[in-house]
Chain A
Amino acid sequence: MIVAELKPFSEIEEMIKGKQHLLLVGCATCTAICFASGNREVSLLDSQLKLKSLMKSKEVFTSERMLKRSCEHEFVEELGSFIEKSEAILSLSCGVGVQTIADCFPEIEVYPALNTLFIGRPDESGVWKEYCQACTDCLLHLTAGICPIARCAKGLLNGPCGGSQEGKCEVSPDIPCAWQLIYDRLETRGELHLLDEIKKPKDWSKKNLPGRVIREDLLLR
């Protein structure tokens, strides 16, 4: 899933400066699962904004909406009837959601309330970690199902580097060395020979361009 977190409140305050009528829009998909954009988070941010406006005796009028998915036009269009009175939208969603709302309603300002962090998963309650960088050419079959692009701090294809120490990354003792994990799992499986071959430099040509997929079988035109 896409993992995100709320921006610092001071940054949000700076963004909405001068706006009185705000629509807060949550998203019920990825970023809700990581507790950044669900009903609770939207309400909390709403209360925070109201409280701050009372303290500053500068009234702010807010309303809240929850979208099933902020990243698809058909869901975002539902906002149509609610934006009339709003000067700006504060979107609690990943960067795709913010852009989809902005595309649907180009006449109104849309602010990102979240920072989009990575594609990852919850490893335990309250802990999310990155697992994929969408590199466009999956190699997990060669690396025991452990991604060195996302999980090695240097994204090495022929690791580990000299900074690997007792299974930890040189960057932080909290980060396991992805290449040590790969080595250990391949050793258990008796597949260490997979490491013998030198992996060639990665082809980043697809990743250098804005990503695009066209499925002829699904086109309606």
Chain B
Amino acid sequence: MSNLEKLLRAGEFAVTAELGPPKSADRGVIEEKAEILKGFADAINITDCQTAVVRLSSIASAAILTSLGLEPIAQMTCRDRNRIALQSDILGAWALGIKNILLLTGDHPKFGNHPEAKGVFDLDSIQLIQMVKQMKEEKKFLNGEEMKVEPKFFIGAVENPFAGSLALRAGRLAKKVAAGAEFLQTQIVYNLEKFSRWMELVREQGLDEKIFILAGVAPIKSVGMAKYMQKKVPGMDVPEEIISRMEKTTDAKAEGIQICIDIIKALKEIKGVKGVHIMAIEWEEAVPEIVRGAGLYPRPSMGEN
């Protein structure tokens, strides 16, 4: 069992962070970022060619983290692999010692640096979750063939409470739970009011008892970044109040970190939220400060696996 799963099952408020692999074959970048994050998160997400930009592979990066003594959460999208490649990589990831996996649809190739690429999407994220669960619990491939050694991943999913109608999004979470997702990381929360309403729907369906929900947070670097996310990033909901806090400050980075800390403190009070996922991509240095500021340091350890 992964450290993350043990902590969540023990009722600890979990902290995960995110590490974006480099756009090169440089292992050193991963080592440097890992050094910053070490001790401040229970597990580290490794993105899988995020926004459809080619980067060092998530599974390879996760294996490097494992070798450095950190616990990775390998992300895997449906965008670039068919069901043969997905299953093959799932086996490979487990064999490399990776224990957490986060399964998602993936951004459309249009947003990336190879917009000419054919998007695969042979499976969708719900089918992928179901497939990994079947491999884990029934020791069977998607086609029903049996395997001798199964990959026993702690299965994660994502959900965006801010995309489409709340009822639709809560319904989709129910489907992910039914498919076999065990933990959930949400889209970045800035709109606490809307997130709380989504959590209400989640609790009404009893879903918070069936899946560990980690709310996504991210520090804002500048007012420009806040406005960009508000206007340009699909599926993001940045309220005016955040923009105005960023506009008024003279130290944007410090204020961005403080907003993030304030949001984490508020999230901790929402029933059913079992942890936070801090996304500070290309600003990993902010993570220790946020974790300390939110009173979440030091991190508990469940001992060696």
Query: How long is the Cα–Cα vector from A159 to B159 in the complex, in angstroms?
Result: 12
Chain B residues, CB < 8 A from A200: 127
Please state if A165 and B171 are interface contacts (CB–CB under 8 Å). Answer: no
CB proximity to B under 8 Å, residues A124-180 = 153-167, 170-171, 177, 180
Query: How long is the Cα–Cα vector from A204 to B178 in the complex, in angstroms?
Result: 25
Partner among B79, B121, B158, B175 whose Cβ is within 8 Å of the Cβ of A162: B158
Query: How long is the Cα–Cα vector from A59 to B105 in the complex, in angstroms?
Result: 56
Please state if B234 and A160 are interface contacts (CB–CB under 8 Å). Answer: no
Partner among B124, B159, B164, B187 whose Cβ is within 8 Å of the Cβ of A156: B124
Q: A156-B105, A156-B121, A183-B168 are in contact. Are A163 and B234 (CB under 8 A)?
A: yes
Please state if A158 and B175 are interface contacts (CB–CB under 8 Å). Answer: yes
Give the interface size bracket for A toward B. Answer: 20 to 34
Chain A residues, CB < 8 A from B111: 170
Query: How long is the Cα–Cα vector from A167 to B130 in the complex, in angstroms?
Result: 27
Give the shortest distance, in Å, between A201 (CB) and chain B (any CB): 5
Give the shortest distance, in Å, between A189 (CB) and chain B (any CB): 15
Please state if B126 and A198 are interface contacts (CB–CB under 8 Å). Answer: yes
Nearest-neighbor residue (CB-CB) of B164 within chain A: A164
Query: How long is the Cα–Cα vector from A86 to B130 in the complex, in angstroms?
Result: 59
Nearest-neighbor residue (CB-CB) of A173 within chain B: B234
B83 contacts chain A at the CB level, 8 A cutoff: yes
A12 contacts chain B at the CB level, 8 A cutoff: no
Please state if A198 and B175 are interface contacts (CB–CB under 8 Å). Answer: yes
Chain B residues, CB < 8 A from A156: 105, 121, 124
Please state if B127 and A158 are interface contacts (CB–CB under 8 Å). Answer: yes
Please state if B168 and A180 are interface contacts (CB–CB under 8 Å). Answer: yes
Query: How long is the Cα–Cα vector from A48 to B78 in the complex, in angstroms?
Result: 46
Give the shortest distance, in Å, between B204 (CB) and chain A (any CB): 16
CB proximity to A under 8 Å, residues B231-253 = 234-235
Chain A residues, CB < 8 A from B163: 160-165
Query: How long is the Cα–Cα vector from A200 to B134 in the complex, in angstroms?
Result: 13
Nearest-neighbor residue (CB-CB) of B121 within chain A: A154
Please state if B172 and A160 are interface contacts (CB–CB under 8 Å). Answer: yes
What 0/1 readout, one digit per residue, does chain A (16-41) give for beta carbons within 8 Å of chain B?
A: 00000000000000000000000000
B289 contacts chain A at the CB level, 8 A cutoff: no
Q: A160-B164, A162-B187, A177-B164 are in contact. Are A170 and B108 (CB under 8 A)?
A: yes
A195 contacts chain B at the CB level, 8 A cutoff: yes
- What count of chain B residues pass the 8 Å CB interface test? 35
Q: A153-B108, A158-B175, A161-B105 are in contact. Are A170 and B124 (CB under 8 A)?
A: no
Give the shortest distance, in Å, between B157 (CB) and chain A (any CB): 11
Query: How long is the Cα–Cα vector from A156 to B163 in the complex, in angstroms?
Result: 16
Query: How long is the Cα–Cα vector from A207 to B208 in the complex, in angstroms?
Result: 40
B110 contacts chain A at the CB level, 8 A cutoff: yes
Give the shortest distance, in Å, between A209 (CB) and chain B (any CB): 16
CB proximity to B under 8 Å, residues A177-220 = 177, 180, 183, 192, 195-196, 198-201, 204
Chain A residues, CB < 8 A from B79: 154
Partner among B119, B160, B178, B234 whose Cβ is within 8 Å of the Cβ of A154: B119
Please state if A157 and B127 are interface contacts (CB–CB under 8 Å). Answer: yes
Chain A residues, CB < 8 A from B168: 160, 180, 183
Query: How long is the Cα–Cα vector from A219 to B163 in the complex, in angstroms?
Result: 53
Please state if A154 and B124 are interface contacts (CB–CB under 8 Å). Answer: yes
B200 contacts chain A at the CB level, 8 A cutoff: no
B123 contacts chain A at the CB level, 8 A cutoff: yes
Give the shortest distance, in Å, between B232 (CB) and chain A (any CB): 11
What 0/1 readout, one digit per residue, does chain B (102-141) give for beta carbons within 8 Å of chain A?
A: 0011011011000000010111111100110000000000
Give the shortest distance, in Å, between A146 (CB) and chain B (any CB): 15
Nearest-neighbor residue (CB-CB) of A154 within chain B: B121
Please state if B164 and A167 are interface contacts (CB–CB under 8 Å). Answer: yes
Give the shortest distance, in Å, between A197 (CB) and chain B (any CB): 9
A–B pairs, 13, beta carbons within 8 Å = A157-B124, A159-B124, A162-B104, A163-B235, A164-B235, A165-B234, A180-B164, A198-B126, A198-B130, A198-B179, A201-B123, A201-B127, A201-B142
Binding site for B on A (CB under 8 A): 153-167, 170-171, 177, 180, 183, 192, 195-196, 198-201, 204
Binding site for A on B (CB under 8 A): 78-79, 83, 104-105, 107-108, 110-111, 119, 121-127, 130-131, 142, 158-160, 163-165, 168, 171-172, 175, 178-179, 187, 234-235
Q: A153-B110, A154-B119, A162-B163 are in contact. List 16 more A-B contacts (CB 8 A).
A: A156-B121, A158-B126, A158-B127, A158-B175, A161-B105, A161-B125, A162-B105, A162-B158, A162-B159, A165-B163, A165-B234, A171-B110, A200-B127, A201-B122, A201-B123, A201-B131
List the 9 closest pairs (A to B, CB-CB), nearest first: A162-B160, A170-B234, A158-B126, A156-B124, A161-B105, A154-B121, A164-B164, A163-B234, A201-B127
